[in-house]
Chain A
Amino acid sequence: MKHIQLTIKLISVFTLSILLNSCGGDLEGIFYISDEARKYQIDTTITKMQFVDNYGISEEFYIDQNIWYTTHHYFSEWGTDGEAWGETFGVAYNSTVNGFFFMFVLRADVENTDLEIEWNQRDMLVYNFSTKCVESGIDATIKFYDTLTVRGIKYQDIIEVDYSEKINEIDNDTPVKTYISGNKGLIKFERKDKIILERIE
Chain B
Amino acid sequence: MNKILLTLILFLIVSSCCREDSIETARYELTADELALLPYSKGQKINFVHSNGYSFDFNVIEDKIEWKEYHDFCEWNCCGNDYFSYQVKTTILESTYPKFHFVFSLGGTRFNDYYPQVLNLEINNRYFIQFPYDTLTNFICDSITQTTYYDSISLNNQMYYEVCMRNFDSYNFINDSSVLVPMSVYFNNLGLIQLKMSNYETYTINN
Q: Mark A41-74, 1 if CB is under 8 A from B, else 0.
A: 0000001101000011111101011110000000
| Pairwise interchain contact A97-B173, C-beta atoms closer than 8 A | no
Question: Once the chains are docked, how many angstroms separate the CA of A50 from the CA of B53?
Answer: 20
| Pairwise interchain contact A97-B197, C-beta atoms closer than 8 A | yes
Question: Once the chains are docked, how many angstroms separate the CA of A57 from the CA of B54?
Answer: 8
Question: Once the chains are docked, how many angstroms separate the CA of A62 from the CA of B126?
Answer: 13
8 Å CB contact of A62 from B50, B98, B179? B179
| Pairwise interchain contact A67-B98, C-beta atoms closer than 8 A | no
Q: Mark A158-201, 1 if CB is under 8 A from B, else 0.
A: 00000000000000110000000000000000010101000000
Q: Given A58-B199, A66-B173, A173-B99 in contact, is the A99-B126 Cβ separation under 8 Å?
A: yes
Q: Which residue from chain B places its CB closest to the CB of A56 in the assembled complex?
A: B52
Jot down 20 A-B pairs with beta carbons below 8 A, ordered by A: A48-B176, A48-B178, A55-B54, A56-B50, A57-B50, A57-B201, A58-B199, A59-B180, A60-B180, A62-B179, A64-B174, A94-B173, A96-B179, A97-B180, A99-B99, A99-B124, A99-B126, A172-B96, A173-B99, A193-B96
Question: Once the chains are docked, how many angstroms separate the CA of A71 from the CA of B27?
Answer: 48
Question: Once the chains are docked, how many angstroms separate the CA of A55 from the CA of B203?
Answer: 13
Question: Once the chains are docked, how many angstroms separate the CA of A70 from the CA of B149?
Answer: 40
Seed contacts A57-B98, A64-B174; 11 additional CB < 8 Å A-B pairs: A47-B176, A50-B180, A59-B180, A62-B174, A65-B174, A66-B173, A94-B126, A96-B180, A98-B124, A99-B99, A100-B99
| Pairwise interchain contact A57-B52, C-beta atoms closer than 8 A | yes
- Chain B residues, Cβ within 8 Å of A62: 174, 176, 179
Residues of B within 8 A of A (CB): 50, 52-54, 96-101, 124-126, 173-176, 178-181, 197, 199, 201
| Pairwise interchain contact B125-A99, C-beta atoms closer than 8 A | yes
Question: Once the chains are docked, how many angstroms separate the CA of A50 from the CA of B100?
Answer: 18
| Pairwise interchain contact A99-B101, C-beta atoms closer than 8 A | yes
8 Å CB contact of A58 from B96, B100, B124, B197? B197
| Pairwise interchain contact A55-B125, C-beta atoms closer than 8 A | no
| Pairwise interchain contact A195-B97, C-beta atoms closer than 8 A | yes
Q: Which residue from chain A places its CB closest to the CB of B198 in the assembled complex?
A: A96
How many residue pairs link A and B with beta carbons under 8 A? The number is: 62
- Chain A residues, Cβ within 8 Å of B101: 99
Question: Once the chains are docked, how many angstroms separate the CA of A58 from the CA of B200?
Answer: 10
Question: Once the chains are docked, how many angstroms separate the CA of A50 from the CA of B98?
Answer: 16
- Say what secondary structure dominates the interface of chain A: loop
- Chain A residues, Cβ within 8 Å of B100: 98
Total contacting residues, chain A, CB less than 8 A? 25
| Pairwise interchain contact B180-A58, C-beta atoms closer than 8 A | yes
8 Å CB contact of A56 from B54, B99, B174? B54
8 Å CB contact of B201 from A50, A58, A67? A58
Q: What's the least CB distance linking A191 to chain B, in Å?
A: 7
Q: Given A50-B180, A55-B54, A195-B97 in contact, is the A65-B175 Cβ separation under 8 Å?
A: yes
Q: Which residue from chain B places its CB closest to the CB of A65 in the assembled complex?
A: B175
Q: Which residue from chain A places its CB closest to the CB of B54 in the assembled complex?
A: A55
Question: Once the chains are docked, how many angstroms separate the CA of A191 from the CA of B173?
Answer: 26
Question: Once the chains are docked, how many angstroms separate the CA of A57 from the CA of B199?
Answer: 11
- Chain B residues, Cβ within 8 Å of A57: 50, 52, 54, 98, 201
- Chain A residues, Cβ within 8 Å of B180: 50, 58-60, 96-97
- Chain A residues, Cβ within 8 Å of B125: 99
Q: Given A58-B199, A191-B97, A193-B97 in contact, is the A48-B179 Cβ separation under 8 Å?
A: yes
Q: What's the least CB distance linking A102 to chain B, in Å?
A: 14
